[in-house]
Amino acid sequence: MTNELVDLAIFSGRTYPAFAEAICAHLGKKQGEADIFEFANENIFVRYQENIRSRDVFLVQPLVRPVSTSIVELLIMIDAARRASAGRITAVIPYYAYGRSDKKDQPRVPISGRLLANLIETAGADRVITMNLHAGQIQGFFNIPLDELNGLYPMSAYFASRDMTGYTVVATDVGGEKLSRDMASRLDLPLAIVEKRRLGNTDNVQALNVIGDVDGRNALLIDDEILTAGTMVEAVGILREKGAREIVLAGYHAILGGPAVQRLRDASVHEIVFTDTVPIPADKRLPNMKIIPTAPVFGDAIQRIHTGQSVGALFQ
């Protein structure tokens, strides 16, 4: 541990302790100890087991299953740190929930992504670190500094180490065009886009067409999050219809709810590559699944924030 990290304290919520451990291992830093549990009435209790007065405190919690508990627990952790006189509190949120609720796109609906940002601020967070928000504009929901890290770097490094000859990078929908274009440009590959439509407010989607040429090519299909995997399998279907050969799936946040794992298994694609921003239990891991670690990127960002260096420089 370098001297400059002495006042740094990293704590984990209960949602994904292995991720905080990996960050600490990367920094050569011992994880802070906290007592976190639920009373019989499901009220959550948090107590830090060490002094955090004036310290630079980082609280790690992706907002995943059980989502509501993860959120409330993070808010209570922030409150406890504020009342313990932490010097600065950073919420480290590898996956930000409610990102898809980022606009009022029909009458009488909430903007839950904004509400969540307000809650995190009100609880007392001074800043946020996250990775690949569903839409970049969500950054603006916060009035505190937010560093949005990019899983593109570890993900593209993995693909750059393989032979990607004959591949086209394919976005699963028009909204994912930028994410896929960035990958295509890093790997020096052409880009295509699947035209998708969502059927009402359900998780059901339909792939309508492919913009770009995939006939006789391999496809690296990219999406920011995989929930039911409906988007991915619809895209796989239309890519095969249009003559694509080998297909590799890449996803940044592997939520894998409902039928996702079965759908991915049945899709019989060459490889599935996810980052580890969300815990992926053993029973959801398929033999052709590769998990790319992102904790080192978070660790480097934490170190830079703590020592007042540029986080952007990490990605240049």
Point out which residues bind ligand R5P (CB under 6 A): 172-173, 175-176, 203, 205, 223-231
Contact 195, 207 (CB under 8 A): yes
Q: Give the shortest CB-202-to-ligand R5P separation in angstroms.
A: 9
Contact 23, 299 (CB under 8 A): yes
| Nearest CA-CA partner of 249 in 188, 171, 190 | 171
Name the residue nearer to ligand R5P (CB basis): 77 or 205. Answer: 205
Name the residue nearer to ligand R5P (CB basis): 51 or 262. Answer: 262
Question: What does the alpha-carbon distance between residue 312 and residue 150 come to, in Å, rounded to a whole number?
Answer: 10
Q: Give the shortest CB-252-to-ligand R5P separation in angstroms.
A: 9
Contact 268, 247 (CB under 8 A): no
Q: Give the shortest CB-289-to-ligand R5P separation in angstroms.
A: 15
Q: Give the shortest CB-270-to-ligand R5P separation in angstroms.
A: 19
Q: Give the shortest CB-234-to-ligand R5P separation in angstroms.
A: 8
Q: In what order do the strands lie in the sheet with 88-93?
A: 8-12, 56-60, 88-93, 127-131, 146-149
Contact 220, 167 (CB under 8 A): yes
Name the residue nearer to ligand R5P (CB basis): 59 or 170. Answer: 170
**The amino acid at 262:** Q
Task: Retrieve residue 136's tokens.
Answer: 């970049």
Name the residue nearer to ligand R5P (CB basis): 2 or 262. Answer: 262
**The amino acid at 304:** R
| All residues at 6 or more sequence positions from 245 whose CB lies less than 8 Å from its CB, including other chains | 166, 216, 217, 218, 219
Name the residue nearer to ligand R5P (CB basis): 197 or 270. Answer: 197
Residues 257-279 as b/e (b if ≥16 CB within 10 A, e otherwise) read eeebbebbeebebeebbbbbbbb
Name the residue nearer to ligand R5P (CB basis): 24 or 93. Answer: 93
Q: Give the shortest CB-99-to-ligand R5P separation in angstroms.
A: 9
What positions carry a catalytic annotation? 196
Question: What 3 state SS string does 88-129 have?
Answer: EEEEEECCCCCCCCCCCCCCCCCCHHHHHHHHHHHHCCCEEE
